[in-house]
């Protein structure tokens, strides 16, 4: 069975610093996708970044990058130059298989707070 | 593009009544839609996977007779909470996958906050 683990319930970071949010996963399927979502207090789920299991390069999207360590089964999110607006819940998620019709399972989340 | 709406955004109902929540993909066809429930300060828990024209697949522990899911078209899925009780109060979020897309994200609706009195 697939499993996603986020071990940091909460983090405080100074504005403009970089922050790494940890995520480890477990699956027996060689084909899978890893996602990071941001959920502000409004409740909406905002897609940040995606990494496929066969992707050779680490995914990047603006200030977001995914540190994909396949052998260690980790998919940490790195946010560079943090901003006050980055304060939110962050969820790591995984989908077994590469089809968008497969379900996505979420980790427990990390609450990130940015200090001015 | 890839916008998903939910209606209503919030609802308050009396214990014992039924509540219907709609999830619509506004600008794409969604063969598959998903329903999640999120309790305060917790993660999203998948309730069921809904495929257009067929019965939903429920996750273990989710009562299919209590949470009725209908996916009658490629743009609409509904979740009906039957005989709601206070413990059903939660944030319900739907998501939709674009048909035929590989390695694509799911697109989430804004959520529906249900309060059962």
* pLDDT tens-digit series, residues B36-69: 999 998 999 999 999 888 889 999 999 999 999 9
Lowest-confidence pick of A14-23, A91-100, B83-92: A91-100
Q: Contact, B49 vs B116, CB < 8 A?
A: no
Residues of chain B contacting A91 with CB distance shorter than 8 Å: 43-44
pLDDT at position B16 is 96
- Of the candidates B48, B50, B40, the one whose C-alpha atom is nearest the C-alpha of residue B87 is B40
- Report angle CA B113, B8, B21 to the nearest 5 degrees: 85
B34 touches chain A (CB under 8 A): yes
B95 touches chain A (CB under 8 A): yes
Computed on alpha carbons and rounded to an integer, the radius of gyration of chain A in Å comes to 14
* pLDDT tens-digit series, residues B8-25: 999 999 999 999 999 999
Cβ-defined contact of B31 to A103 (cutoff 8 Å): no
pLDDT at position A97 is 86
Mutation pick from A100, A106, A107, A109 vs chain B, by most beta carbons of B within 10 Å, is A100
Find the Cα–Cα–Cα–Cα dihedral A58, A59, A61, A64, rounded to 10°.
-60
Confidence check: pLDDT of A1 > 80: no
Confidence check: pLDDT of A72 > 90: yes
pLDDT at position B87 is 95
SS3 content of chain A, % helix, strand, coil (to 5): 5, 55, 45
pLDDT at position A100 is 82
pLDDT at position B61 is 94
pLDDT at position A16 is 96
Cβ-defined contact of B102 to A100 (cutoff 8 Å): yes
pLDDT at position B54 is 85
- Of the candidates B20, B74, B36, the one whose C-alpha atom is nearest the C-alpha of residue B52 is B74
Residues of chain A contacting B96 with CB distance shorter than 8 Å: none
């Amino acid at each position: 069975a697939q499993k996603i683990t986020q071990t940091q319930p909460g983090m405080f970071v100074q504005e403009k610093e970089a922050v790494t949010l940890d995520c480890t996963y477990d699956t027996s399927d060689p084909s899978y996708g890893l996602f990071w979502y941001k959920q502000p207090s409004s409740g909406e789920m905002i897609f940040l970044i995606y990494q496929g299991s066969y992707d050779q390069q680490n995914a990047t999207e603006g200030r977001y990058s995914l540190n994909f360590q396949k052998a260690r089964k980790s998919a940490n999110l790195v946010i560079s130059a943090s901003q006050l607006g980055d304060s939110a819940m962050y969820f790591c998620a995984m989908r077994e298989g590469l089809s968008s019709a497969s379900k996505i399972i979420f980790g427990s989340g990390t609450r990130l707070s940015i200090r001015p | 593009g890839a916008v998903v709406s939910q209606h209503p955004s919030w609802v308050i109902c009396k214990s014992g009544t039924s509540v219907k929540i709609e999830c619509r993909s506004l600008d794409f066809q969604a063969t598959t839609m998903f329903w999640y429930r999120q309790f305060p300060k917790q993660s999203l828990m998948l309730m069921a996977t809904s495929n257009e024209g067929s019965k939903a697949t429920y996750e273990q522990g989710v009562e299919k007779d209590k949470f009725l899911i209908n996916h009658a078209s490629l743009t609409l899925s509904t979740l009906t909470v039957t005989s709601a009780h206070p413990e059903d109060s939660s944030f319900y979020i739907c998501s939709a996958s674009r048909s035929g897309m590989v390695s694509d994200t799911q697109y989430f609706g804004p959520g529906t906050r249900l309060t059962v009195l």
